Amino acid sequence: MLSGWSTKGKLACPVCLKDTHSVRLPNSKKQYYIGHRRFLPMSHKRRNDINSFDGTKELRLPPPYVDGHAILDQVKDLEGKILSKDLKKRKKISHGFRGDN
């Protein structure tokens, strides 16, 4: 999981990326995510179960595996957010009673 990845909205799944299948609920204005049956094996009985899910059979293949090099290519041009102007190391607080120093 990438630091800062939003788990809300249309691109909530870091595995599916742009192929995340979500639907917006009309009354609550929230996203719900369907299509995760595609991660099951093709012969799995739940792929064809139309009664327990959204009324469709899942025929799609799982998304291709994205390795670390591909992710680095996607984020290499992003500019980072500077959290502090003072980049000095913070002074460590001594917790002698805990025995961790």
In a domain, 94, yes or no: no
Domain enclosing residue 51, as ranges: 17-69
In a domain, 84, yes or no: no
Give me the pLDDT at residue 86, please.
62
pLDDT per residue of the chain (101 residues) written in tens, 0 to 9:
566 777 777 777 777 777 777 888 888 878 877 888 888 999 999 999 989 888 888 898 988 888 888 878 877 777 776 555 665 666 666 666 555 54
Give me the pLDDT at residue 21, please.
79
Into how many domains does the chain fold? 1
In a domain, 53, yes or no: yes
Q: Structure pTM?
A: 0.55
9-to-14, 15, 20, 52, 55 alpha-carbon distances in Å: 12, 14, 10, 24, 23
In a domain, 93, yes or no: no
